[in-house]
Structure 1
Amino acid sequence: MGITVQNITGNTAMVIWPKMASCTDSFYSVMYHPNWNRNLSSYSRKNFQKEERVPTSRSSFVVENLTPLTTYIMCVTCQSANPSSDQCRVFNTLEQDPASKSNTKKELALGIWLTSSVLLLIIAAILLYGCLHLYCRRRREHLQGQNETSEQDHGKAWPKSVVSTSGELGRQSQMVQDSEEKHPGGIQLATIIENPSASKEPIMPKSKSWQQAPTTGQCSAVN
């Protein structure tokens, strides 16, 4: 079985093989390995770095992702068999062409740009979340401060009204006391000041001089 390797570039190569009538498997095994050393390596399947499975209906395969300026060995066998020397070919990849280099650079630049964009979006999302969280917390603290201030104002207004009412009652009591001090015997005068409705009825003051008649006059009249 003779295989050939064609269309060799810096990264790809096409391998062609004749159909194997003796191969009863459903796949061909395309194996290749870089930096092949015939003196140190054998044709055992475990010595090959890469292996691709191709349906038996096909007789060619394009190997990709090869390293430029590298010596490769490529073998094609049945699915379960070890390759022999007539089933293998050694070839060298070419230098990478400028178009491929530019494509690689473009892909690298695109990957860097996508990674940077994703990182920027993540950072922007984190900053936005932090700002919203801070705004909501300050808003909540502001509303709590307003509620506490309104409660304090309401609490202060009630004592003021109580104090003013107490002050008026104190002034009225003081006026009653002053009236009692000026008129020691006038208990009803204090009552009139405290209860103005009682002043409608006339009060006749009792006088000791009016109650006591002069006895001397009566005695002189009898005599």
Structure 2
Amino acid sequence: MGITIQNITGNTAMVIWPKMASCVDSFYSIMYHPNWNSMLSSYSRKSFQKEERVPTTRSSFVVENLTPLTTYIMCVTCQSANPSSDQCRVFNTLERDPASASNTKKELALGIWLTSSMLLLIIAAVLLYGCLHLLCRRRRERLQEQNGSSKQEHGEPWTKSVAYASEESSRHSQQTRDTEEKHLGGIQLATIIENPSVCNEPVLPSSKSRERVPITGECSPIN
């Protein structure tokens, strides 16, 4: 069975083979291997690096992902046994296709762009989180300052009212004591007037009534 290799590029090659009515298997085996050396390699199935299987209804197949400027051997057989030499062909791939090189550059540029975009998104997310955290902290500090000032404003009138009430209470107590002392001095004086014999006994007046009532037993003449 003679096979033909056509449309060879840097990465692909098309293999064509004639249909065989004697093929009892349901598939064709397409085997190929790079850097082929007929002196060192055999046609054993284990010697081939890759193998593709296609239905027996087909008579051609495009092999992809080949290496540019590389010598390949490709064999097609309709049975699971080892291929023979007339079922194989050796060919060389061409240089890298300009379109393929352009696609590779585009893929590389796309990968770099995606990576850069992800990094920028991560940096933006970190910065946004930091700004929000800073704003929340400043707002919390402002609320705490406002609460503290409001408490202080509410506390000052209460302190003033307490001080004023304490002062009024002290003043009222002092007035009450003065009134009681005056009343006590008046009672003692009235007692002396009504009962002159009391003058012989010393009277202990209060601190403010000592000037008005004599301490000794002598009574002052009353006009």
1:53-202 map, 5 Å: 53-78=53-78, 80-180=80-180, 184-186=184-186
> What secondary structure, in the 3-state scheme, does the structure 1 residue paired with 2:135 have?
helix
Count of residue correspondences: 195
Shift of 1:111: 2.4
**Distance in 2 separating the partners of 1:177 and 1:18:** 138
Q: Deviations over 1:53-76 (max 9, x none)?
A: 222221111112211111111112
**Distance in 1 separating the partners of 2:80 and 2:122:** 50
| % identical aligned pairs | 79
> What secondary structure, in the 3-state scheme, does the structure 1 residue paired with 2:190 have?
coil
**Distance in 2 separating the partners of 1:24 and 1:148:** 96
1:191 corresponds in structure 2 to none
**Distance in 2 separating the partners of 1:186 and 1:78:** 147
Question: 1:206/1:182 Cα in 2 relative to 1: closer, same or farther (>3 Å)?
Answer: closer
The gaps in structure 1 that reach 5 residues or longer are: 188-204, 213-223
Shift of 1:94: 1.0
**Alpha-carbon contact 1:77-1:87 (below 8 Å) kept:** yes
Find the partner of 2:193 among 197, 209, 212: 209
Shift of 1:14: 0.6
> What secondary structure, in the 3-state scheme, does the structure 2 residue paired with 1:21 have?
coil
**Distance in 2 separating the partners of 1:142 and 1:81:** 86
RMSD: 2.8
> What secondary structure, in the 3-state scheme, does the structure 2 residue paired with 1:146 have?
helix
1:22 corresponds in structure 2 to 22
> What secondary structure, in the 3-state scheme, does the structure 2 residue paired with 1:206 have?
helix
Shift of 1:83: 2.2
Shift of 1:137: 3.7
Q: Which range moves more in the overlay, 78-87 or 162-171?
A: 78-87
**Distance in 1 separating the partners of 2:81 and 2:58:** 18
**Alpha-carbon contact 1:180-1:186 (below 8 Å) kept:** no
TM-score (norm 2): 0.73
